[in-house]
Structure 1
C-alpha cells in the first residue's frame, strides 16, 4: 500500500537543503517533518507595518555558523493562525506565503514565522508543503544537490 501512495513522488531525506528565493535565501537547511502540519521559519526579530493598506511583516534571520550573517526580509502577511507545537503549547503566529525551491521544483508554501533558535534546523517543512510532491525516507539525509540560486546561503 505504501508503494501506491509514494509512486511517482520524489523521495527525500528527513533533512534537506532548500532555497527561499523571494526572501533572498539561496540555501537553508530544513527538517522535513510529516508529523507537523505547517512549515516554520526561524526569525530573530519580527515587526508588522502597513504598506498600501495591507499588513506586512519585516523580519531578520541570523545564520551562518562560520560567519554570522543577518538577512532582512519583508513579506506581505498572509494571516495569523494558532499553531500547536510538539509540546502541545498553542501560540498565535504570523504566516507568509513564499516560493520554495527543493529537488528541482519550485512551489508556494505557507510558512509561519517563529523563534526556532533552540532547534537544530532554522526551517521545518511540514506535511502540507510535502503532500503530493515528495515522500520522506527517515533513513536518508541530504539526497538533493544544493539549490542553484544567487541569493544568500544560510548554513
Structure 2
C-alpha cells in the first residue's frame, strides 16, 4: 500500500492511501450496500404489511351494541361534503307497501329514537314454513277515515322496551318495506299501540342514517326535493 500526499488549496496537506490490486475496490464495497439496504427495506416492508392485520384483529374485539350506537349517531351528525343530499322535514309521508296494496301514513322522523315504530292493531302470531310470522292491521288512529291495511311480516325478534314508568314491555319487531319521497327502503319496526301519539309511524336513527339531512323546523320536504 502506497501513501500519496497532496497539497490542498489552503496550503495544507492531506493524504490518501492507494489500495493494492488484491484488495476490494470501492465499487465492490458499494455493490454490497444495496443488497443490505434491500434486505432492510424488505424487512421494513414485511413489518408494514403485517401491522394493519394485527391492528384489525384488535378492532374486532369491541362491544357491538356500543359500536352500533356510535355508528348511527355519527352518521346522523356527519357533514356531507359531496353531492347534494335530500333534506327531510321532522314529519313526512311514508307509503307502506304490501304484496297487493299500498297506503300512505304520516310519520315523525325522530333522531332521539334508535329503532322505528309503527301503530298496529289485532296482532296475531303464526307459523309459516317453520318460521314465526306476525299478522296485523296498520291504520292511523288520529284519522277516522284512515284505511285499515292488513299486513304480514316475518318476526325478526321480540324487543323489550323500557317505559318511562320503569316497566319493560315486549314488542314484536318486523322488517317492512316503505317509501319516503323517491326513496324505497326496508327497515325494522316495533309493533306498538301509538293511538296516543301524533303520528302512527315513527322513523328512528337506524333508518334516518340511510336518508340524509333532517330539518326539525320544517315538515313534508321529501316530495319537494329540497337539497343541501
Q: TM-score, normalised by structure 1?
A: 0.81
Name segments (4+ residues, structure 1) moved above 6 Å. Answer: none
- Runs of 5+ consecutive residues of structure 2 not aligned to the other structure: 1-75
Matched, 1:117 2:191: no
Superposed CA RMSD: 2.4
Q: TM-score, normalised by structure 2?
A: 0.57
Matched, 1:80 2:158: yes
**1:9 alignment counterpart:** 85
- The counterpart of 2:131, out of the listed 54, 63, 69, is 54
Aligned residues: 145
Per residue, is there more strand in 1 or in 2? 1
Over 3 Å counting, the alpha-carbon distance change for 1:127 and 1:88 in structure 2 is farther
| 1:30-49 equivalent positions in 2, closer than 5 A | 30-49=107-126
> Which one has more relative contact order, counting CA pairs under 8 Å at least 6 apart?
1
The Cα shift of 1:69 comes to: 3.0
- Runs of 5+ consecutive residues of structure 1 not aligned to the other structure: 147-155
**2:175 alignment counterpart:** 97
**2:220 alignment counterpart:** 142
Cα pair 1:45 1:61 within 8 Å, conserved: no
Q: Deviations over 1:13-33 (max 9, x none)?
A: 100001111374331100000
The structure number with the bigger radius of gyration is 2
